[in-house]
Amino acid sequence: MSARGTQIDIFPNIYFRPQFGRPLAKNQLIQVKLADMLTEISIGLHACLRVTRLKDEKSCSPQQISLIKRNSCGKALEIARKARDILGGNGIVDEYHVMRHMCNLESVNTYEGASSVTQFIYLSLFIRTHDIHALILGQQITGLQAFK
């Protein structure tokens, strides 16, 4: 999971990089961000586990999968951004891999492959996975399909 990898990758820096005479990890704001990251990772993993079990029981709908995928991708990107913020300038260097995770997450977040998407890109409109899953959920909520 990219979100967890991002969080793990920042640990060497926050433990061994002194800021104001102490490690970054000893600052309250850093610990709050780490707690937020872990909370979202845990919620996402539990949701995935539940949907997987529902799928095994043959009682999972495509809308439930869309809900989990949409949320997990968005939260993973938020986590990568927090990790980049925690590392400051080091957040964009190869040594800590945060930017690599962010690029991977952006590519996952961008919907690719369908011919209609190619037409949208040609018209300079970007369709993202987050948006596609929102439309699937919107159809479930309203009973009306807003896409073809």
* Domain ranges for the chain: 1-98, 110-148
The superfamily CATH assigns to domain 1-98 is Butyryl-CoA Dehydrogenase, subunit A, domain 3 (1.20.140.10)
End-to-end CA separation in angstroms for the chain: 31
Helix (H) or strand (E) holding 22: strand 22-23
Instruction: Based on the residue annotation, tell me whether 106 is a catalytic residue of this protein.
Output: no
Which region among 65-79, 92-106, 109-123, 134-148 has the lowest average model confidence (pLDDT)? 109-123
How high is the mean pLDDT of the chain? 79
pLDDT one-digit tens code per residue, 48-87: 999 999 999 999 998 898 888 888 888 988 999 998 888 8
Q: Among the options 57, 78, 106, 112, which is catalytic?
A: 112
Q: How far apart are CA 118 and CA 132, in angstroms?
A: 14
Contacts of 125 (CB under 8 A, 6+ apart): none
Q: How far apart are CA 10 and CA 89, in angstroms?
A: 12
Q: For 19, phi and psi rounded to 5 degrees?
A: -135, 120
